[in-house]
């Protein structure tokens, strides 16, 4: 069976090409996956919008209602980085629903990936930093509520610290949040995860992978995890506009192999989400995001 991939054409909310958020990476990622033979009909699953009841497990009810009703206060929209109109609202509901679906597929097949998700700056009270709903927090709480998982590990390797995930899941003992990120990156005020590793500017492949290789066995020795959510943000790449770290494509590939291989070798399902990546060269950026799917497909 091919790698199960969750997608929806409306992950792309159709921003202008010069917007600070490179929205066109979503259709270009699908193009890259098709070109690699990874997006056949037996591989693709269509995301459904997450119902409000799921979103409210992770977010304040009034904020969820504001996003669904497209009535988010301007002050919060400024923190998110774009206005929450109908397309952004739908996209946020779909991305969260997509990560829930990818998690269920991972529980069934061992591994599955969403072609969106990793919106880790969205906190309980509101969105921030290009993140409207925190899909991984929503999916974790849906799995716990439905009894589909009891112990969940979040491995967040996006270059930015996972402050929103830490905020939402900080009081949830059944979820362990791990974030490895650039020390000097957004957010300025970090919210402590269960484990944070902050890396200095310019960290390259060797130092990065060495650090990760040390920490993964410590994480898996803690508990028998029922599922791992892996935020494979590619903004750790040397050519990322916001990243400050210096990984190469080979480094990204080795990182994804290390994480996925480590947990699958122990029979622990992995749900991959794409996380952040910022570049004006959007085809190159989409190819970086495609690495997760290339690596994951070797384990499917």
**Cβ closer to Zn ion: 54 or 208?**
208
**Cβ closer to Zn ion: 143 or 166?**
166
**Residue with token string 């119902």:** 51
What minimum distance in Å lies between the beta carbon of 159 and Zn ion? 5
Residues 6+ apart with CB under 8 A from 16: none
**Cβ closer to Zn ion: 196 or 235?**
235
What minimum distance in Å lies between the beta carbon of 131 and Zn ion? 9
What minimum distance in Å lies between the beta carbon of 192 and Zn ion? 18
**Cβ closer to Zn ion: 144 or 234?**
234
Alpha-carbon gap, residue 49 to 116, rounded angstroms = 13
Window contacting Zn ion (CB under 5 A); options: 168-176, 203-211, 274-282, 283-291: 274-282
Number of other CB atoms surrounding residue 64 within 10 Å: 21
Query: Per-residue x/- mask for Zn ion, residues 216 to 245, rule CB under 5 A?
Result: -----------------x-x----------
What minimum distance in Å lies between the beta carbon of 68 and Zn ion? 25
**Cβ closer to Zn ion: 98 or 276?**
276
**Cβ closer to Zn ion: 59 or 160?**
160
**Cβ closer to Zn ion: 286 or 300?**
286
> Is the four-CA dihedral 263, 119, 233, 166 of positive or negative sign?
negative
Question: How many residues interact with Zn ion (rule CB under 5 A)?
Answer: 5
Q: Taking a C-beta distance cutoff of 8 angstroms, is the pair 245, 199 a contact?
A: yes
Give me the residue whose beta carbon is nearest to Zn ion: 276
Alpha-carbon gap, residue 264 to 270, rounded angstroms = 7
Query: Per-residue x/- mask for Zn ion, residues 11 to 50, rule CB under 5 A?
Result: ----------------------------------------
Among 12, 135, 156, 158, the residue binding Zn ion under the rule CB under 5 A is: 158
Among 98, 164, 182, 276, the residue binding Zn ion under the rule CB under 5 A is: 276
Among 8, 104, 123, 160, the residue binding Zn ion under the rule CB under 5 A is: 160
Q: Taking a C-beta distance cutoff of 8 angstroms, is the pair 193, 178 a contact?
A: yes
Q: Taking a C-beta distance cutoff of 8 angstroms, is the pair 162, 170 a contact?
A: no
What minimum distance in Å lies between the beta carbon of 6 and Zn ion? 20
The SS3 assignment for 47 reads coil
Residue 218 tokens, joined: 């410590």
Q: What is the DSSP string of 163-209?
A: HHHHHHHTT-TTEEEEEEEETTSSPSS----SEEEEE-TT-BHHHHH
Window contacting Zn ion (CB under 5 A); options: 63-71, 93-101, 207-215, 275-283: 275-283
Q: Report the length, in residues, of the chain.
A: 300
Rounded to 10 deg, the angle between the 282-297 and 25-35 helix axes is 50
Considering only residues 179-198, where is the footprint of Zn ion by CB under 5 A?
A: none
Residues 6+ apart with CB under 8 A from 34: none
Alpha-carbon gap, residue 78 to 1, rounded angstroms = 43
Under rule CB under 5 A, residue 156 binds Zn ion: no
Which residues contact Zn ion (rule: CB under 5 A)? Answer: 158, 160, 233, 235, 276
């Amino acid at each position: 069976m091919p790698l199960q991939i969750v997608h929806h054409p409306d992950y792309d909310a159709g921003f202008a090409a010069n917007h600070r958020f490179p929205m066109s990476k979503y259709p270009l990622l699908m193009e890259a996956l098709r070109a690699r033979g990874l997006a056949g009909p037996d591989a693709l699953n269509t995301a459904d919008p997450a119902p409000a009841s799921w979103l409210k497990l992770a977010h304040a009810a009034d904020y969820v209602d504001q996003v669904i009703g497209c009535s988010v206060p301007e002050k919060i929209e400024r923190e998110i980085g774009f206005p929450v109109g109908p397309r952004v609202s739908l996209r946020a509901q779909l991305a969260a629903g997509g990560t829930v679906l990818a998690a269920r597929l991972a529980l069934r097949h061992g591994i599955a990936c969403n072609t969106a998700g990793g919106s880790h700056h969205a906190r309980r009270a509101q969105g921030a930093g290009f993140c409207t709903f925190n899909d991984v927090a929503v999916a974790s709480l849906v799995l716990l509520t439905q009894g589909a998982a009891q112990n969940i590990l979040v491995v967040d390797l996006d270059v930015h610290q996972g402050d929103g995930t830490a905020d939402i899941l900080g009081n949830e003992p059944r979820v362990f949040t791990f974030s490895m990120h650039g020390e000097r990156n957004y957010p300025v005020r970090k919210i402590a995860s269960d484990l944070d590793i902050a890396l200095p500017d310019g960290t390259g492949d060797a130092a990065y992978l060495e650090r990760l290789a040390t920490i993964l066995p410590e994480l898996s020795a803690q508990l028998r995890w029922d599922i791992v959510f892996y935020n494979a943000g590619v903004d750790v790449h040397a050519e990322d506009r916001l990243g400050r770290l210096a990984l190469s494509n080979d480094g990204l590939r080795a990182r994804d192999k290390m994480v996925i291989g480590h947990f699958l070798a122990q029979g622990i399902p992995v749900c991959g989400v794409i996380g952040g990546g910022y570049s004006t060269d959007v085809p190159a950026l989409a190819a970086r995001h495609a690495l997760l799917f290339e690596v994951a497909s070797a384990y499917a």
